[in-house]
Amino acid sequence: MMSRQSTHRRGRLKTVIFYVAPYVLFIAVAELILYLVFILQEQQTCIDKWTTYGYCAGYSEVRDLSREKQSYTKVYVYVDEFGGRQPGPVPSVFPANSRVFIIGDSFVQADELPYEMTMGGVLNANSVPTYALGYSSWNPIQYSGAIAKLGGLKGDYHVFMYINDFTPTYERSVAGELAEAKIKKSWWQRLTAISRLAALVDSKWERIWAAHDGFGSNPAAVNAHKALTGNGELSFTREAFRECGPIAAIWGEAGISDTMMFAKHYSCWPDEFRRQVDLEVDATQRLVENFSANAEGTLHLYLIPSGWAFPYQNTAGRAHPTLGIPDAAGITQAGLADYLQFKGLNVTDLEPFLQQQLDAMAPDCGHCENTLYLENDGHWTALANKLVALNYLD
């Protein structure tokens, strides 16, 4: 006969199973459904031995861009076997016949634009054989890898860097990438790597938290926003980039303050900020050295300004809770451009050129809202792509 204690234990076990089993079954079914969706859905991002990650070979999609109020509402994205965008579906393309190579992040990927409106599309339409290789959030480490992937083909290489390549608080900057590699992952981070349900919950939570934890609740961002909209102690125009003021006091764990630091001369930067920016500078210098040693042709470096470097560009994006930048404000990147030159990098800062274009258009369009940067997305419009392609790459 069973003892009363043994019977009691078995009874408790049945009760636990009765209450827990439905949750376990729900999680198992959810994981199975998400896994099936994942394997049946065409994947955009794949591991790449040269660039760590990038477009999956042969990827295609149709993007709805109607909210950007452009001349088009849909964008058809076609990727060749090598990882670059093409004007239509193609079985395989190798860029050996190109003489111009464009490397960069999402500004070169440009999947907010039909291919013919991208820099590569514009040049090819003008009989300049061009191949563009870019992907979201690539930084100088990936740019160097992309050049290596091209195998040292002879030609003119144009590498477009964006300011978040150099921002220490951005997770995909060089500093962010190196910091991530050193951080011991939490149990939740390890779980999201193996559980599709946990990864889905994590991504949804990040979006909710980003909307909550904007400049209204982050102390560093509050200070940065006050400096941007407040009493005039700090100016972020190109003309005032050598005026330090109390700029060091606003730097902290807030992306907007990184951007504002770049509006000031490097002598104004806190030591820790400058030390972290130097990680990106070092990676860019290695890119130049690797190109000289392994590739044949010319290398040109460009620095892309953000939409909020100019008033009334990217008007919806700049209003996001994590930024809160007024429409009429302009945050120059002159300090960063000057620092790159100081460190011996021959980089073309595109901010003055784009400002000249806006000034020239102003008599006809006033503020010229979102003429060069998309209203929501924040990347270049078709006009900006065309202006840069024909003035610098042709």
Q: In this predicted model, what pLDDT tens digit does every residue of 153-172 receive, in sequence order?
A: 999 999 999 998 998 878 77
The predicted structure's pLDDT at residue 68? 96
Which whole number is the average pLDDT over 54-61?
Answer: 92
Q: How would residue 301 be classed by pLDDT, with cut points 50, 70 and 90? A: very high
Rounded to an integer, what distance in angstroms lies between the CA atom of residue 253 and that of residue 229? 19
Q: How would residue 180 be classed by pLDDT, with cut points 50, 70 and 90? A: low
322-361 in b/e form (b: 16+ CB < 10 A) is: ebbbeeebbbbbbbbbbbbeeeebebebbbeebbebbeee
Rounded to an integer, what distance in angstroms lies between the CA atom of residue 263 and that of residue 364? 29
- Beta bridge pairs of residue 349: 303
The predicted structure's pLDDT at residue 219? 62
pLDDT in tens, 24-47: 777 777 666 655 555 555 578 898
Pairing mode, if any, of strands 52-55 and 85-86?
unpaired
The predicted structure's pLDDT at residue 4? 57
Q: How would residue 387 be classed by pLDDT, with cut points 50, 70 and 90? A: very high
Which of 107-116, 191-200, 249-258 has the weakest average pLDDT?
191-200
- Beta bridge pairs of residue 54: 46
Q: How would residue 232 be classed by pLDDT, with cut points 50, 70 and 90? A: low
In the three-class reduction of DSSP (H, G, I as helix; E, B as strand; rest coil), residue 160 is classed as strand
Q: How would residue 9 be classed by pLDDT, with cut points 50, 70 and 90? A: low
pTM assigned to the model:
0.85
How many angstroms from the chain centroid is the CA of residue 130? 23
Which of 122-131, 194-203, 302-311 has the weakest average pLDDT?
194-203
pLDDT at 183 over 50: no
pLDDT at 292 over 90: yes
Q: Output the furthest CA–CA distance in the chain (Å, rounded).
A: 98
